[in-house]
């Protein structure tokens, strides 16, 4: 299939971010200016966001065998672009006070975003691999972006080594599958001996990126070591994109109906829920705590994927949005308060935050409550939809797992809240003054967390998310016939 | 004005007050705070009153107002194979049951707000306190007015959160923060049960809206699809009841309530006596159609209620902190309410909920007034002979103490008597046993409350010398609510004047439409047993109350030394009661040290070894590697040759890359995971 004009239009967001990256690079070459680089990157993302929803972009369209643009990919593209924009806003002030060379950061961020944007529309293993690598490689550099600090460097190297290893598993799985079917399309139906081991290997690779038990060990170190805005990028954009592609892959390949894969997904989901929540119980470092909490939240997402069905697809889509908005808020507050070389990441450093920085305190509280799933926040809605999907298909074990582990999890989120409202230490913490781009991003995230908790109407039902996946499934069965 | 159509506005006034206080409270003058916050609750009360009066004129006594579709949803598979429609509204239901609740919440809530103006006047964070208090009223009203279980859960969690905030209000006091956290965690255990119950309901009946769920249940009962004793319904109600034990402080989840007394006294009166803790009783009464379908759960509810009633009452006997006595008394009285629900006398349970709200709020506020007069002293051993010094407090407290022991014609007499009679006349095998427990508890109640009265207001003054000079009656803002509640503690029970005493029991008639379906299910509701028997029981329960008062008088006024002698002869019992049967210690050892810390530390240690490295880590690593290599040899044969060579490369490559050098362990773990997965695949 050749690339025609309509196809180009459909993948316009990708092209725009690509062009934006070039433009930022050219701008840096001409003159170093932090503001200009940030503004240009931000503008590229906004334009891409608009282009994703042009009137011409409706329905499902295969753009080359690699990509499929449909409601599903458009939804995730939107979410990922908004998150990237948020990360840029949060990064701006942070970099101003910390890094010597700031402009290249945006190049890396935009490149990572391109990789993330490839994933939701990937319908071919080549696109999957390209997307994942394009997302990961800039991350290595981003993690170690503050080279004079010890922890980021360590985090970057750890991530590099482990991501390399996991990519190898992924590739091996893809190779096995290719040997079986002779096709690299997701929809290629594999039924032979090698199909299950191949899919298991692919899940290992993806499970690493998602930090699912037992591939979760890197998370805590990397989250802790990462500069807070980069942590936000990993926790939101990177996770969201990989979830999107994992779900599409499992649906379109039909692997979701294989007993072995279902069993594995269930074990991974339950394991992540429990391990993540229990490990976080004793944490005093907020970034580590968020890392462990992300493990448990990814477990919930995996539960939704494992359940399958239209309701579950919508629940997962909603949950991704809910979780990423909440966690962006948490990382955003930490970045916004970071002064110079020091990030306020220990609980003791956040004590009395409410009394010195009331708005930041309230925002961090909201984020924690949303992560804990307290009603009237978007986190509760996310869990509700997942539970409803669980009840819909009688997935009782997973549903009970979700309820029980969120009850356990409430404890450590509460510890953060208690610290925020306890009496401020003497002398009070020196926090960075919060700049307007960061406050804008934080306010937006707060609005999402609150508004979608009270009025969770996104018109998600108008988007045919599951339809996109189902039709692909039907397509694939049709081709075999 | 059509109040019925604007019931959705009732919770909004306190919400607006809360937002105003928390955002701008610091800048508002104190006087403005003192007017705005009680004012919002008063407006809510008047609107509730208007709505209830209009409701009474409707023929069907039920009005549903749906504001908007909160959670839109699609088609949904039920467990029975049919399709349901997933949807939850932001909707409110005013019926006889919720009308009683909103009047209690806003009415008592308003009085306590007024009282707080005086009580909290000198405290820092005045506006914050009122902000939380208003926020609490908002969530409580949402809870009782919700027309579906999900919105009810919003209120349910919300009141828990406010309760946590208010218990920890004196956040500089370490014990207060700890008590707040304890309350939150214990409640989360209950909430997990509640959520699972609601989930099961959604999957079984396809809706969470009260009218739809109960309509569906009634339809299925009529068509014979659903019969009494159905296992799903039994499980569902059991899970819901676990939620109720958390919120309403019943065995085994009652432990948070006594500690919650760390909060300011008006909070104890409002949240931990009159309103929030009764949410569990309300929820069970609301779900009466479901509970009545499950005799197993009903027996459980009655049993837990009776056990909690007598258990907490005995603990109350040996406490010296005036607020703790009242806290255990609340736990005990809540037990009565569950006992009533468990024997199918939901109306009696709600009746007692109402009268209890009056007299227990009064007791708490009165104790607050005593504490206020004594500059913060809460130990009854340092009180005594206060009746002439703070007369208004004394007389109102006196009335409340008569009400709680069920002296006629005070409020408690009617409701407690009705519960005891219904417990006895319920056609269960345990009817007599339940009555005996309730009867003994009534005696114990009289004993511990009058012990409190005698120790505080009578006898010799044991007040510290410097405190003695400052004793003063509380300001008007505090005494007027006391007097109002005292009047309610007398006349509040008259709405349920029983028929055999020539009344018409209007409350029961009013509530009847809510409970009519369960009355049909529980056939025994028809009054049986002779009137003579009922008179006898009425006399007995009054007599046991009087006997309790007499014992209290004998031991604490007439012969104080006798009490000490008893304590000395059986020191173990006293110590056991004073230490609350050591339940907290046991819970601490088993759950906190055992599971949470143990599990957390074990996993944390595991985590630390892997993540942070160290000597132990390397030992562990060696062990793991050797294990792995054995595994390796076994599985390599089965065809992953390329995998193994590749992994060895991965393992050797990064060894010297990092000083901590433990990245390889992470990689090893990935391999480990793959192996586990493959072993599953191969064994299968």
- What is d(CA B570, CA B492) in angstroms, rounded to the nearest whole number? 41
**DSSP secondary structure string, A75-122?**
HHHHHHHHHHHHHHHHHHHHHHHH-S--THHHHHHHHHHHHHHHHHHB
Tell me the chain B residues in contact with residue A454 when contact means C-beta distances shorter than 8 Å.
70
Tell me, yes or no, if A175 comes closer than 8 A to chain B by beta carbon. no
Question: What residue spans of B374-408 are helical by DSSP H?
Answer: 391-404
pLDDT at A88: 94
Residue B58: φ, ψ to 5°: -70, 150
Query: Per-residue pLDDT tens for B421-449?
Result: 888 887 666 778 888 899 999 999 999 99
pLDDT average, residue stretch A351-379? 89
- What is d(CA B365, CA A150) in angstroms, rounded to the nearest whole number? 58
User: Pick the residue with more confidence: B573 or A252?
Assistant: A252
Q: Output the CA–CA distances (angstroms, integers) from residue B26 to A361, B128, B596, in the order listed.
A: 16, 8, 39
- What is d(CA B425, CA A35) in angstroms, rounded to the nearest whole number? 81
Q: Do residue B71 and residue A456 have CB atoms under 8 angstroms apart?
A: yes
Which of A200, A204, A388 to probe by mutation at the B interface, max B CB count within 10 Å? A388
Per-window interface: A 395-454 vs B, CB < 8 A: 399-400, 403-404, 406-407, 410-411, 414, 418, 421-423, 454
Contact B284, B241 (CB under 8 A): yes
DSSP letter assigned to residue B380? G
Of A197, A410, A418, the CB nearest to B678: A197
Tell me the chain B residues in contact with residue A414 when contact means C-beta distances shorter than 8 Å.
181, 184-185
> How close does chain A come to B332, measured CA to CA in Å?
27
Residue B68: φ, ψ to 5°: -165, 165
Report the 10 Å Cβ neighbour count for B392. 18
Low-confidence ranges of chain B (pLDDT < 50): 525-526, 606-623, 625-626, 629-661
Q: Do residue A391 and residue B202 have CB atoms under 8 angstroms apart?
A: yes
Which of A158, A165, A263, A407 to probe by mutation at the B interface, max B CB count within 10 Å? A165
Q: Do residue A388 and residue B76 have CB atoms under 8 angstroms apart?
A: yes
- What is d(CA B667, CA B648) in angstroms, rounded to the nearest whole number? 10
Q: Do residue A207 and residue B673 have CB atoms under 8 angstroms apart?
A: yes
**DSSP secondary structure string, A123-147?**
-BHHHHHHHHHHHHHHHHHHHT-ST
Is beta strand A61-63 parallel, antiparallel or unpaired with respect to A67-69?
Answer: antiparallel
- What is d(CA A78, CA A83) in angstroms, rounded to the nearest whole number? 9
pLDDT at B526: 47
Query: Per-residue pLDDT tens for A414-435?
Result: 888 888 877 777 766 677 777 8
Tell me the chain A residues in contact with residue B184 when contact means C-beta distances shorter than 8 Å.
410, 414
Tell me, yes or no, if B663 comes closer than 8 A to chain A by beta carbon. yes
Tell me, yes or no, if A384 comes closer than 8 A to chain B by beta carbon. yes
Q: Output the CA–CA distances (angstroms, integers) from residue A136 to A35, A46, A184, B175, B665, in the order listed.
A: 26, 23, 21, 48, 21
Query: Per-residue pLDDT tens for B157-203?
Result: 889 888 888 887 776 677 777 787 788 878 888 888 999 999 889 88
Query: Per-residue pLDDT tens for A30-45?
Result: 988 899 999 999 999 9
Per-window interface: A 176-235 vs B, CB < 8 A: 196-197, 200-201, 203-204, 207-208, 214-215, 217-218, 220-221
Report the 10 Å Cβ neighbour count for A474. 11
How many degrees, rounded to 5, is the angle at CA A299 between CA A72 and CA B186?
Answer: 125
DSSP letter assigned to residue B528? -
- What is d(CA B71, CA A288) in angstroms, rounded to the nearest whole number? 33
Query: Per-residue pLDDT tens for A172-193?
Result: 999 999 988 888 888 877 677 7
pLDDT at B367: 92
Contact A34, A103 (CB under 8 A): yes
Q: Do residue B71 and residue A260 have CB atoms under 8 angstroms apart?
A: no
Q: Output the CA–CA distances (angstroms, integers) from residue B45 to B66, B99, B478, B482, in the order listed.
A: 21, 11, 19, 18
At B292, list the tokens: 């009545």
Query: Per-residue pLDDT tens for A75-127?
Result: 999 999 999 999 999 999 888 877 778 888 999 999 999 999 999 999 999 99
Tell me, yes or no, if A294 comes closer than 8 A to chain B by beta carbon. no
- Cβ neighbours for A349, distance < 8 A, ≥ 6 positions apart: A429
Contact B291, B301 (CB under 8 A): yes
Contact B258, B378 (CB under 8 A): no
Is beta strand B75-77 parallel, antiparallel or unpaired with respect to B83-85?
Answer: antiparallel
Give the global pTM.
0.83
Contact B10, B102 (CB under 8 A): yes
Report the 10 Å Cβ neighbour count for B84. 21
Instruction: From B106, B109, B123, B3, select the one nearest B52 (Cα to Cα).
Output: B3
Contact A371, B182 (CB under 8 A): no
Contact A223, A235 (CB under 8 A): yes
Query: Per-residue pLDDT tens for A372-412?
Result: 988 889 999 899 889 988 888 888 899 999 998 988 888 88
- Cβ neighbours for B378, distance < 8 A, ≥ 6 positions apart: B321, B322, B323, B371
Q: Where are the domains of chain A?
A: 5-478
- What is d(CA A60, CA B658) in angstroms, rounded to the nearest whole number? 47
**DSSP secondary structure string, B114-168?**
HHHHHHTTTSTTHHHHHHHHHHHHHHHHHHHHBSBHHHHHHHHHHHHHHHHHHHT
Q: Output the CA–CA distances (angstroms, integers) from residue A18 to A15, A82, B86, B351, in the order listed.
A: 5, 16, 42, 70
pLDDT at A459: 63
pLDDT at B203: 86
Tell me, yes or no, if A467 comes closer than 8 A to chain B by beta carbon. no
DSSP letter assigned to residue B93? E
Tell me the chain B residues in contact with residue A382 when contact means C-beta distances shorter than 8 Å.
none
Which of A160, A196, A197 to probe by mutation at the B interface, max B CB count within 10 Å? A197
């Amino acid at each position: 299939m050749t690339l025609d004009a309509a196809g180009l239009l459909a993948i316009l967001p990708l092209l725009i971010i690509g062009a934006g990256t070039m433009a930022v690079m050219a701008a840096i070459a001409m003159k170093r200016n932090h503001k200009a680089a940030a503004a240009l990157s931000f503008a590229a993302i906004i334009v891409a966001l608009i282009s994703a929803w042009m009137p011409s972009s409706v329905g499902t369209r295969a753009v080359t065998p690699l990509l499929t643009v449909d409601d599903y990919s458009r939804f995730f593209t939107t979410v990922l672009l908004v998150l990237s924009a948020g990360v840029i806003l949060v990064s701006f002030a942070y970099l101003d006070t910390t890094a010597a060379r700031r402009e290249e950061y945006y190049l890396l961020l935009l490149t990572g975003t391109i990789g993330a944007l490839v994933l939701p529309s990937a319908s071919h293993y080549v696109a999957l691999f390209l997307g994942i690598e394009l997302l990961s490689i800039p991350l290595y550099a981003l993690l170690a972006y503050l080279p004079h600090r010890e922890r980021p460097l360590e985090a970057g190297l750890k991530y590099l080594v482990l991501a390399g290893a996991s990519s190898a598993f992924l590739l091996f799985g893809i190779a096995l599958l290719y040997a079986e079917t002779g096709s690299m399309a997701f929809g290629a139906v594999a039924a032979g001996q090698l199909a299950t081991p191949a899919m298991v290997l692919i899940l290992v690779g993806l499970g690493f990126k998602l930090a699912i038990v037992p591939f979760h060990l890197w998370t805590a170190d990397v989250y802790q070591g990462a500069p807070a805005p980069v942590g936000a990028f990993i926790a939101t954009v990177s996770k969201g994109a990989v979830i999107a592609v994992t779900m599409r892959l499992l649906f379109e390949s039909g692997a979701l109906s294989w007993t072995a894969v279902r069993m594995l997904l269930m074990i991974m989901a339950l394991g992540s829920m429990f391990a993540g929540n229990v490990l976080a119980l004793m944490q005093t470092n907020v970034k580590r705590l968020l890392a462990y909490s992300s493990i448990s939240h990814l477990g919930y997402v995996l539960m939704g994927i494992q359940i399958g069905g239209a309701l579950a697809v919508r629940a997962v889509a909603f949950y991704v949005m809910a979780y990423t908005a909440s966690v962006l808020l948490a990382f955003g507050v930490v970045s916004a308060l970071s002064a110079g070389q020091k990030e306020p990441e220990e609980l003791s450093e956040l004590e009395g935050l409410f009394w010195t920085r009331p708005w930041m305190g309230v925002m961090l509280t909201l984020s924690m409550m949303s992560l804990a799933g307290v009603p009237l926040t978007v986190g509760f809605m996310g869990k509700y939809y997942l539970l409803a999907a669980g009840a819909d298909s009688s997935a009782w074990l997973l549903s009970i797992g979700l309820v029980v582990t969120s009850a356990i999890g409430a404890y450590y989120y509460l510890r953060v809240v208690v610290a925020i409202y306890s009496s401020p230490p003497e002398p009070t913490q020196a926090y960075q003054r919060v700049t307007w781009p960061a406050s804008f991003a934080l306010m937006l995230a707060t609005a999402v967390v609150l508004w979608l908790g009270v009025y969770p109407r996104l018109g998600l039902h108008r988007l045919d998310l599951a339809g996109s996946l189902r039709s692909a499934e039907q397509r694939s069965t049709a081709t075999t016939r | 004005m059509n109040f019925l159509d604007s019931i959705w506005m009732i919770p909004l006034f306190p919400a607006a007050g809360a937002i105003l206080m928390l955002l701008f409270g610091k800048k508002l003058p104190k006087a403005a705070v003192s007017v705005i916050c009680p004012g919002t609750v008063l407006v809510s009360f008047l609107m509730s009153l208007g709505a209830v009066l209009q409701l009474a004129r409707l023929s069907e006594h039920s009005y549903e107002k749906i504001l908007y579709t909160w959670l839109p949803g699609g088609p949904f598979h039920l467990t029975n194979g049919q399709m349901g429609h997933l949807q939850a509204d932001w909707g409110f239901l005013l019926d006889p049951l919720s009308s009683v609740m909103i009047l209690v919440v806003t009415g008592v809530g308003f009085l306590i707000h007024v009282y707080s103006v005086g009580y909290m006047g000198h405290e820092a964070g005045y506006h914050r306190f009122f902000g939380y208090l208003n926020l609490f009223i908002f969530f409580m009203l949402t809870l009782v007015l919700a027309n579906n279980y999900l919105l009810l859960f919003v209120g349910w969690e919300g009141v828990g959160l406010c309760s946590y905030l208010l218990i920890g209000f004196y956040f500089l006091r370490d014990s207060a923060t700890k008590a707040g956290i304890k309350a939150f965690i214990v409640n989360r255990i209950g909430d997990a049960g509640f959520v699972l119950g609601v989930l099961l309901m959604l999957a079984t009946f396809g809706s969470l809206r009260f009218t739809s769920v109960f309509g569906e249940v009634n339809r299925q009962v009529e068509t014979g699809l659903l019969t009494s004793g159905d296992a799903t319904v039994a499980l569902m109600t059991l899970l819901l009841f676990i939620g109720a034990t958390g919120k309403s402080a019943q065995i085994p989840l009652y432990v948070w309530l006594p500690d919650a007394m760390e909060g300011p006294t008006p909070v104890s009166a409002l949240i931990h006596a009159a309103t929030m803790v009764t949410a569990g009783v309300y929820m069970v009464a609301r779900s009466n159609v479901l509970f009545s379908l499950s005799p197993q759960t009903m027996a459980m509810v009655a049993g837990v209620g009776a056990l909690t009633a007598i258990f907490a009452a005995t603990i109350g006997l040996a406490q010296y902190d005036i607020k703790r006595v009242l806290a255990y008394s609340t736990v005990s009285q809540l037990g009565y309410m569950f006992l009533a629900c468990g024997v199918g006398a939901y109306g009696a349970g709600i009746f007692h909920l109402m009268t209890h709200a009056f007299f227990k709020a009064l007791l708490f506020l009165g104790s607050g007034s005593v504490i206020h007069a004594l500059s913060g002293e809460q130990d009854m051993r340092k009180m005594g002979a206060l009746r002439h010094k703070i007369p208004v407090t004394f007389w109102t407290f006196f009335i409340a103490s008569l009400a709680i022991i069920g002296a006629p014609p005070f409020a408690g007499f009617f409701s407690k008597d009705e519960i005891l009679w219904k417990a006895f006349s319920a056609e269960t095998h345990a009817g007599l046993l339940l009555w005996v427990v309730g009867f003994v508890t009534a005696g114990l109640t009289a004993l511990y409350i009058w012990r409190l009265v005698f120790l505080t207001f009578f006898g010799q003054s044991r007040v510290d010398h410097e405190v003695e000079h400052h004793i003063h009656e509380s300001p008007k803002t505090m005494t007027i609510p006391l007097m109002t509640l005292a009047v309610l503690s007398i006349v509040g029970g008259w709405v349920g004047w029983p028929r055999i005493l020539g009344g018409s029991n209007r409350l029961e008639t009013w509530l009847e439409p809510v409970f009519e379906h369960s009355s049909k299910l529980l056939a025994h509701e028809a009054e049986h047993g002779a009137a003579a028997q009922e008179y006898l029981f009425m006399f007995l329960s009054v007599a046991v109350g009087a006997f309790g008062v007499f014992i209290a008088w004998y031991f604490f006024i007439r012969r104080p030394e006798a009490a000490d002698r008893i304590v000395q002869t059986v020191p173990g019992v006293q110590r056991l009661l004073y230490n609350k049967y050591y339940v907290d210690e046991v819970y601490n050892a088993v759950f906190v040290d055992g599971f949470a810390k143990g599990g957390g530390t074990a996993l944390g240690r595991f985590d630390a070894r892997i993540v942070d490295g160290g000597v132990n880590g390397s030992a562990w690593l060696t062990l793991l590697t050797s294990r792995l290599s054995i595994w390796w040899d076994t599985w390599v044969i089965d065809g992953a040759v390329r995998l193994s060579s590749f992994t060895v490369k991965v393992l050797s490559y990064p060894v010297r890359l990092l000083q901590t050098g433990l990245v390889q362990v992470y990689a090893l773990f990935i391999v480990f995971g793959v192996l586990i997965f493959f072993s599953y695949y191969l064994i299968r």
